[in-house]
């Protein structure tokens, strides 16, 4: 068992937008009593800071200046969930110096994870795009959750309607394709499954089946380090 003082057990959950990685990551963290870090919020916080200040998210100088200001305390803002903030996030995320700034925050938290009440956690689940490849290449478990872009756009569209936002499916699909292209096509830390990741395609697999597959892998790895 990973005891107090031992290296935290790290689970990396990567994948494109609306593939179900957030749901899976959150559920895994609750199941094992681990901390949870949604790393996309860091990029969203940088994007939001720029939008709120009337600046261009694609401007590297402004984006790097904003990234140096970000702390974990910025991640609770409800505005971060907005679609325009998601688009801005994927623009700042393509800037190498922004990624470098945010890397330190992510690695520090992963090395000493804490639960929301401040207690140290025996492990951590991080979700993002490059956790298994760049942020925590030595993660104990790596999972890459994916689904077809049409299915992901359908899910996001439904989510937006449920939140009472105005949404048009064709627009949501196009935005999703644009973001996929930016995330997969960027030179630094492009979104790719780590070579040793378990790939879960959630197009035909429901959330419970995805969770069961992940738990089986985590239990097997935890057994091995016990």
**Binding flags for ligand CDP, 181-200, as an x/- string (CB under 6 A):** --x-----------------
Site string for ligand CDP, 15-34 (x = CB under 6 A): --xx---x------------
Tokens matching residue 128: 């993002």
Distance CA 186, CA 67 (A): 18
Residue 132 binds ligand CDP, judged by CB under 6 A: no
Q: Which two tokens stand for residue 177?
A: 């394709």
120 versus 148: smaller Cβ distance to ligand CDP: 148
Nearest residue to 14 via CA among 209, 220, 185, 183: 183
Burial annotation 171-198 (CB, 10 A radius, 16+ → b, else e): ebbebbeebbebbeebeebebebbeebb
Helix, strand or coil, per DSSP, at residue 95:
coil
Q: Is 67 helix (H, G, I), strand (E, B) or coil?
A: helix
Judged by CB under 6 A, does residue 89 bind ligand CDP? yes
How many amino acids of this chain bind ligand CDP (CB under 6 A)?
Answer: 17
**Is 128 among the residues that bind ligand CDP (CB under 6 A)?**
yes
CB of 223 to ligand CDP, least distance (A): 28
Among 35, 39, 141, 155, binds ligand CDP (CB under 6 A): 39
| 157 binds ligand CDP per the rule CB under 6 A | no
Task: Pick between residue 21 and residue 140 the one whose CB is nearest to ligand CDP.
Answer: 21
Q: CB–CB of 98/64 below 8 Å?
A: yes
Q: Which is nearer to ligand CDP, 44 or 142 (CB)?
A: 44
What whole-number distance in Å separates Cα of residue 17 and Cα of residue 146?
9
In angstroms, rounded to a whole number, what is the distance separating the alpha carbons of residues 149 and 203?
9
| Binding string, residues 40-59; x marks residues near ligand CDP by CB under 6 A | x--xx---------------
Q: Which listed range, 83-91, 117-125, 141-149, 159-167, lies at the site for ligand CDP (CB under 6 A)?
A: 83-91
Phi, psi of 58 (to 5 degrees): -90, 0
- Which one of residues 27, 49, 129, 142 is an interface residue with ligand CDP (CB under 6 A)? 129
Q: Please state whether 171 falls in left (phi above 0), alpha (psi between -120 and 50) or beta.
A: alpha
Q: How far is the CB of 16 from ligand CDP (least distance, A)?
A: 7
Q: Whose Cβ is closer to ligand CDP: residue 59's or residue 222's?
A: 59
Residues that bind ligand CDP (CB under 6 A): 17-18, 22, 39-40, 43-44, 86, 89-90, 93, 128-131, 179, 183
């Amino acid at each position: 068992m990973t005891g107090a003082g031992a290296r935290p057990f790290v689970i990396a959950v990567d994948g494109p937008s609306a593939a179900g990685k957030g749901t899976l990551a959150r559920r895994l963290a609750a199941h094992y009593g681990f901390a949870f870090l949604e790393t996309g919020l860091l990029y969203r916080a940088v994007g939001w800071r720029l939008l709120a200040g009337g600046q261009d998210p694609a401007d590297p100088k402004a984006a790097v200046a904003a990234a140096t200001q970000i702390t974990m305390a910025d991640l609770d803002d409800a505005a971060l969930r907005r679609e325009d903030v998601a688009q801005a996030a994927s623009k700042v995320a393509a800037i190498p110096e922004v990624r470098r700034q945010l890397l330190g925050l992510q690695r520090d938290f992963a090395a000493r994870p804490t639960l929301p009440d401040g207690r140290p956690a025996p492990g951590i689940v991080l979700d993002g795009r490059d956790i298994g490849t760049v942020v925590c290449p030595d993660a104990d478990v790596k999972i890459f959750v994916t689904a077809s872009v049409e299915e992901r756009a359908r899910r996001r569209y439904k989510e937006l309607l449920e939140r009472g936002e105005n949404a048009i499916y064709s627009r949501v699909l196009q935005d999703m394709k644009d973001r996929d292209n930016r995330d997969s096509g960027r030179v630094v830390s492009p979104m790719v499954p780590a070579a040793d990741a378990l790939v879960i395609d959630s197009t035909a697999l429901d959330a419970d089946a995805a969770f069961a597959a992940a738990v089986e892998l985590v239990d097997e790895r935890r057994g091995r380090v016990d």
